[in-house]
Structure 1
Amino acid sequence: MNKFKIFSLALVASASVAKAQDINQAKKAIDAEQFDKAKSLLKSIIKAKPSDGEANFVLGNIYLNQAIVDSAKIYYLNGLEAADKKNLNYIGLGQLDLDAKNAASAKANFDLAAKDMKRKDVNEFIYIGRAYMNSTNPDYTNAIAILKRALLIEPQNATALLAIGDAYHGANNQNDAYKSYRDAFTADPTLLRAKMQLGVLLKGAKSYEEAIKAFNEVIALDANYGPVYRELAETYYKWARNKPSTQQVNYQKAISSYEKYLSLTDYSMDSRMRHADFLILVKDYKALETEANKMIELDKVNPRIYRYLGYSAYENGNVEVAIKSLENYVKVPTNKVIAKDYLYLGFAKIKKGTAADGVVDAAAFDAGLADIKKAVAMEPLAVEDLGDFGKELFTKKQYNQAAALYELSATNTESKNYLNDNVYYGISLYYANANKEKTAIDAAGLAKADAAFDRVLVASPTYDEAYLYKGRINNLLEKDDLIIKNYQEYINRTSAKGAEELAKPATVKKIVESYNSIGASYANTDKAKAIEYFNKTLVLDPTNAYAAQSVKALK
């Protein structure tokens, strides 16, 4: 009997170890961002032992991380019925409460999870800390507080040190984050994510070359650790964005690093979507279209694929597919629509409605502009993406349409394109009226153009061309005093630049325009002044017919 008991206990221990190994394998797969593999392992554990609360909890966390909330909740509730570690599932429900901005209910669930902890247990505290961080409404202060409780019990717990490093990182406390990551890797040299995070901190500090060295140290330890290649890809991308001279080389390195990352994951839909998001960042729309079509073969119902199809179709010149795909995406209330979705939908509708020959479909343009306004309402800095599209319309001499776009960005001082967009806004409104009959002039639009150049002069007081355009605008409005004031200011500022500037043919042409406009403005009130300015024109351009005829008429 004794032998049998020992043997029976050994079997129980073996079963427990096997189960733990399966859970650990799933956790390793999660760390490696092999989510389909992790799901498969966890579902096998649950099938073999439905009473396994931890497996339900970890599986619920994967679904929640992937924003599949209904599935996450199902597994958390199943886990609460389990006999083993069911308390962990209160943590999952607590994170759902945090996502719903119900902090009190979240705290109640976290308290239930921790209620029966043994004196030396720390895992519940680590999971609660992660829940505070992983919520769509992260609370790094509470995450740090709960993780400190874990470290009081077990100061060298590498998982807790890694977690508090992430919490400090989220709270922008990079010094404590660095120390925590370093201590985590010292405590467990197999914890590659902790060492990788040291490189992530360098990337965040824009020390791109140093970050790449740090990531290469991780690769030297394990060349098959997938997440480090994703971090490499993102570092090369950021380096390219911050130093345009490196863009061509670094974009290519970013793409090849991401391909390596993908090869080391399980090509799950989640991994493919992250890849698609990255292809948008590096503007590789041909590859995005290929990836989107692969995804739709694998999952014909996943709505986010319509986003990728829409973006790539627009960039690759197929506006009909872009409109259809993006309308299919944004019309579903449960889809997480972002500003860029409406931006692309608006661009596609406008492009369809503004032919190259100058013909504009007003209804199509208005529909597109309405979508772009939705994008700007969701994310005011979406206006930073309007400039190039506005210039495209401007180049096609669709000035009113260009102005309608630039109007959305002209007062957003936070936009990096604030100055340039105001210049184009003012110029677009000017040219929209420049060749109109007097009775058709849009005085209100020209007043907006004048105000745009006032904003330009506040943002850039040395932008002298603004006075030239203010003179032209007031010429159309027939405001003689403002014509004289602005053209004279342009002359004064340009003359102050010296003889070299005044000798340029383009400058001479603008000075002549200014003299003639001032002369014409004085013609009805001060003939002597008018003749003086027309004669100044004739000094610069003796063959100027308008000035010569005006002098003759005024004498």
Structure 2
Amino acid sequence: MKINSKIATAVFGLAFAGTAVHAQSLDDAKKAITAEQYQKAKTMLKNLTVTEATKDENYFYLGWVYLKQDEADSAKIWFNKGVAVNPKSSLNYVGLGAVARLNKDQAGATSNFNQALALAGKKDSKPYVYIGKSYLLTNNGAPLAPYSASPADAQAAIDVLNKGVAINPKDAELFLTLGDADLTQLKSDAYSNYSTALDLDPKSPAADVAQGVLIKYANNFDDAIKDFQAALQIDPNFGPAYREWAETDARWAKNDPKVAVDKANEAITQYKKYLSLTDMSLESQMRYADFLIFAGKYDELQALTKQLSTSASVNLRVYRYLGYAAYNNKDYPAGLTAMNTWMTKADPKRIIPLDYTYLGHLQIASGQDSLGMQNLRKAYSLDTTQTDVLGEIARSLYTQKKYKESGDAYALFVSKSKGATLPDLFNEGRAYYFAYDPKKPDTTLLAKADSAFSQVQQKATKPVAAVSLFRAYTNDLRETDRNNIKGYAKPFYEQFVALTTAKATISDADKKSLVTAYDYLGTYYELIAKDPTKAADNFSKALALNPTDPQALDYQKRKK
């Protein structure tokens, strides 16, 4: 029988089309998720929910992709559809528990997780895997942070994953996720768990990459890159290996100035390879934005996020990054507009302490000091590890001449932050000094000022003239009984004179302060020590620097 060529073409086309659809199995979709090809995975899984509509796993993995993309509401829709298809779907109950947890509904999370485990088969370890992963999820899309899970969440993940190991010690994904949980707390167990995952599945590029990430955080960059290369030998198109390679190069650049430029450029190259191997989805580009923050590439970050913000399907998180970038680029109006958009439109659960920090910085830079300090305080109250904001608050209060509050903020900053410097301690002293009001004398302010100045001198490699001068000023104010002067300031003025006159060049400001010191010392020797020779010597030195000095001229008149 003769076959019409057009019909044959159509039949064979349908046959091959059917094969192509069949090739897009759940395993293919899961591989796409692991490779961070989220758009590709979503397309596959949406097709599978049509062609295999009764298979509840299809709905779970589709919902999981939405969770990975920080879209919990959409994820919940698919998990509920999975439960509707199969009321005994343990994985979809895991998904519902993950959504509840991200929504800070701990009771709902626990209930759904328990339901999932009750429905799981005796040897079914996947619910344990994904409950563990759920504890490691964040719902705010925080910028690149290797240790984002809290100790409590990490331990909850470890506990449930170990229960999974007890029922199925051959599941490589269990050990891979255990390693991830350990890594968030920098536990040494991470390495052994990643190694076990590799032993169980030697063809897993994800396990090699995970092991490389762990080594990266030990700053063993060469060996980390070897692990990424090993992953690429297994699968040359495994994008996450290039992403982690890029982030390793960026960390290397920060740690070694000798290779900083080369490694920073190489990092960009590797990251672009990663992007080329993903589907260039918005989420992939958002991860690139994370990387640009880590790498300090704020010009490129601002350009990227400005472009992404014009998309109709924009993720609001773009505005966060646009705000961060614009602040670092000193484009304060654009930064403030972007951060206000993020803070007012994003779900409050997605706001992180760092957002308040940047908003506060932008407000202060835009002249909105009161609002700025309010947001910086909010950032610190939510995350007391953000001690650098205390320095910003202290500096802003000092600018506003709110010296007592500034001194208190500096004192807290110096005591809490590893980033505090000797100039910050000096500013603490100056703030307390200027806060003192002789009309309403509070000697505790002088004591705090002198203590701060004293600490600066003790910690400095050599005495600092400016500190000696302020100690002199401070101790002079201690002389509340002007009829019974003790000379508290004398040793500090003498130290200031010795340090300043030893300089190769004496500035005009130095000369003015020297005159003040000589006047004090001259008066001390005339009235307190009764040493006319030293009194005359000091007043003569004052006049040599300032022939119109009233105090020295008055002394000369009295002597005549």
In structure 1, distance between residues paired with 2:226 and 2:372: 46
Q: CA-to-partner distance for each residue in 1:373-393, whole Å, 9 max, x for gaps?
A: 3333333454526768988x8
Please report the TM-score for the alignment, with normalisation by the length of structure 2: 0.77
- Structure 2 vs 1, CA of residues 82 and 433 (structure 1 numbering), >3 Å: closer, same or farther? closer
SS in 2 for 1:461: helix
Instruction: Give unmatched runs, 5+ long, in structure 2.
Output: 1-17, 140-149
Deviation, 1:544, is 5.6
Deviation at 1:167, TM superposition (A): 2.8
Aligned to 2:379: 375
Shift of 1:511: 8.9
Provide the residue aligned with 1:111 in structure 2. Answer: 114
Counting only pairs closer than 5 Å after superposition, residues 148-547 of structure 1 correspond to structure 2 as 148-174=162-188, 176-244=189-257, 246-299=259-312, 302-332=315-345, 334-335=347-348, 336-353=350-367, 364-384=368-388, 400=401, 408-412=409-413, 413-419=415-421, 420-427=423-430, 451-452=448-449, 454-455=451-452, 457-458=454-455, 461-463=458-460, 464-465=463-464, 466-473=467-474, 484-486=487-489, 488-489=491-492, 491=494, 502=502, 504-506=504-506, 512=514, 515-516=517-518, 518-519=520-521, 522=524, 525-526=527-528, 528=530, 532=534, 535=537, 545=547, 546=549
Q: Displacement of 1:450 after TM fit? A: 6.7
Instruction: Tell me, yes or no, if the aligned pair for 1:313 and 1:321 is still in contact at 8 Å.
Output: yes
In the alignment, structure 1 residue 147 sits paired with structure 2 residue 151? no
**Structure 1 residue 89 displacement after superposition:** 0.9
Q: Letter of the aligned partner of 1:305 in structure 2?
A: V
Please give the root-mean-square deviation of Cα atoms over the aligned residues, in Å: 4.3
- Residue-by-residue CA offset, 1:416-445 (whole Å, 9 max, x unaligned): 332332323545777x899xxx99x9978x
Cα distance in 2 for residues equivalent to 1:403 and 1:220: 63
Structure 1 counterpart of 2:84:
81
The answer to whether the 8 A contact 1:313-1:322 is kept is: yes
Q: Distance in 2 between the 1:414 and 1:482 partners?
A: 38
CA contact (8 A) 1:133 1:140 kept: yes
Quick one: which amino acid aligns to residue 472 of structure 2? G
Return the offset for 1:501.
Answer: 9.1
Partner of 1:22: 25
Could you tell me how far apart the structure 2 residues matched to 1:370 and 1:308 are?
Answer: 21
User: Match for 2:47: what amino acid?
Assistant: S
> How many equivalent residue pairs?
518
Give me the identity figure in percent: 30
- The answer for the alignment partner of 2:75 in structure 1 is 72
Distance across 2 between alignment mates of 1:19 and 1:93: 29
Q: Once the 2 structures are TM-superposed, how far is the Cα of residue 108 of structure 1 from its aligned partner?
A: 3.7
Give the Cα–Cα distance (whole angstroms) in 2 for the partners of residues 553 and 539 of structure 1. Answer: 16
1:178-231 Cα deviation digits (max 9, x unpaired)? 112112112222211111122212222233343334334434544432112222
Question: Which residue does the alignment assign to 1:11?
Answer: none
Q: Structure 1 pair 525/66, CA: closer, same or farther in 2 (3 Å)?
A: farther
**SS of structure 2 residue aligned to 1:528:** coil
- Give the C-alpha shift of residue 119 in structure 1: 3.7
Task: Please list every run of 5 or more consecutive structure 1 residues that lacks an aligned counterpart in the other structure.
Answer: 1-14, 354-363
TM-score by length of 1: 0.78
* Aligned-partner Cα distance in 1 for 2:259–2:533: 57
Higher mean alpha-carbon deviation, 403-412 vs 250-259, is at 403-412
Residue 467 of structure 1 contacts residue 486 of structure 1 at CA under 8 Å; is this kept in 2?
Answer: no
Deviations 1:398-432 (A, max 9, x none): 573899778644412221332332323545777x8
Higher mean alpha-carbon deviation, 71-80 vs 244-253, is at: 244-253
